[in-house]
């Protein structure tokens, strides 16, 4: 484990001080390392009994990811009464199903509005999101929803980047410290293609096939008669091994694809 820099330690200390300004908070929890570290820090700053966990359940998240998130909350010893799990139904939101470039904005806004309503029922006003500094480097329509709704971003405000988040998570023995970022299943579908349960189920099936072969962090993107696989650097090398290549090619051809393509830009 790499030792934390003084700068990272100062940022984390600043994060804790900022969180102490709240009497009660709700953490939007996805199960990823960012929201996990934020949840851990909030519990450290103001106590577990003052921290609600807001977790959305929907068809956009694979069963594996749902199970992983629940296991993480168990490891953090989050009381069942503080876990506010909500069933969301994005496939009945017309503006989301249309799958335009604003898809993530519509989804984030609807989801966080639901979270705020749930927090109000529990006499808590502050909702926290786990965005970090590196999230500003890419186009993320969901940020607009975060700002419009007044959601707090403590990791970002403290100046923490992804590498620092992972380092802190490792130091505090959070088991998902090295977990790759994993957006919802809908992000595998090309813009303009309507989102439906059937397509999402197929994406989950394809990625489960690769996960069962120890390709962790992979993404599968159907594109008409082609399928594009995104993987980590070491897994890209494994994809080229003759026996593995033949097995994967056979699987996707049996699913109706003519070509199996590999994105040579590794996922990091």
Q: Is residue 267 part of a domain?
A: no
| Residue range 213-251, pLDDT digits in tens | 999 989 999 999 999 999 999 899 999 899 999 999 999
Q: How far apart are the first and last CA of the chain?
A: 19
The crossing angle, in degrees rounded to 10, of helices 242-254 and 197-211 is: 160
Together in a domain, 164 and 201: no
Q: Is residue 30 part of a domain?
A: yes
For the chain, the average pLDDT equals 95
Strand blocks (E) in the chain: 25-28, 51-57, 83-87, 126-128, 219-223, 226-230, 259-262
- Alpha-carbon distance 177 to 166, whole Å? 5
For the stretch 50-77, what's the b/e string if a residue is b when 16 or more beta carbons lie within 10 angstroms of its beta carbon? Answer: bbbbbbbebbbbbeebeebbbebbeebe
Whether the pLDDT of residue 152 is over 80: the answer is: yes
| Cβ-based neighbour number of residue 171 at 10 Å | 16
| Cβ-based neighbour number of residue 180 at 10 Å | 15
Q: Is residue 268 part of a domain?
A: no
| Residue range 56-106, pLDDT digits in tens | 999 999 999 999 999 999 999 999 999 999 999 999 999 999 999 999 999
Q: How many domains does the chain have?
A: 2
Note the pLDDT of residue 137.
81
Last residue of a domain, one of 118, 138, 171: 171
% of the chain with per-residue pLDDT over 70: 99
Whether the pLDDT of residue 139 is over 80: the answer is: no
- Cβ–Cβ under 8 Å, residues 205 and 49: no
Together in a domain, 257 and 134: no
| Residue range 174-202, pLDDT digits in tens | 999 999 888 999 999 999 999 999 999 99
| pLDDT tier at 253, thresholds 50, 70, 90 | very high
pTM, 2 dp: 0.94
Q: Is residue 177 part of a domain?
A: no
Which domain, by its residues, includes 100? 6-171
Together in a domain, 200 and 167: no
- CATH number (domain holding residue 133): 3.40.50.620
- Alpha-carbon distance 55 to 68, whole Å? 12
């Amino acid at each position: 484990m790499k030792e934390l820099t003084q700068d990272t330690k100062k940022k984390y200390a600043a994060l804790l001080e900022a969180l102490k300004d709240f009497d009660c908070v709700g953490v939007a929890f996805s199960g990823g390392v960012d929201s996990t570290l934020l949840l851990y820090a909030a519990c450290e700053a103001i106590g577990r009994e003052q921290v609600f966990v807001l977790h959305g359940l929907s068809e956009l998240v694979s069963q594996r990811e749902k199970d992983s998130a629940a296991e993480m909350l168990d490891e953090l010893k989050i009381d069942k009464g503080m876990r506010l799990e909500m069933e969301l139904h994005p496939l009945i939101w017309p503006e989301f199903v249309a799958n335009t470039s604003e898809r993530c904005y519509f989804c984030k806004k609807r989801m966080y509005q639901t979270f705020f309503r749930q927090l109000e029922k529990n006499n808590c006003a502050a909702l926290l999101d786990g965005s970090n500094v590196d999230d500003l480097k890419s186009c993320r329509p969901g940020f607009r929803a975060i700002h419009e709704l007044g959601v707090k971003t403590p990791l970002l405000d403290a100046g923490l980047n992804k590498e620092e988040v992972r380092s802190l998570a490792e130091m505090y023995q959070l088991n998902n410290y090295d977990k790759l970022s994993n957006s919802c299943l809908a992000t595998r579908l090309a813009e303009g293609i309507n989102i439906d349960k059937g397509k999402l189920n197929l994406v989950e099936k394809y990625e489960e096939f690769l996960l069962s072969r120890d390709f962790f962090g992979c993404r599968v993107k159907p594109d008409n008669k082609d399928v594009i696989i995104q993987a980590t650097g070491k897994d890209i090398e494994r994809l080229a091994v003759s026996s593995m290549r033949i097995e994967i090619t056979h699987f996707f051809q049996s699913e109706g694809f003519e070509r199996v393509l590999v994105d040579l830009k590794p996922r990091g």
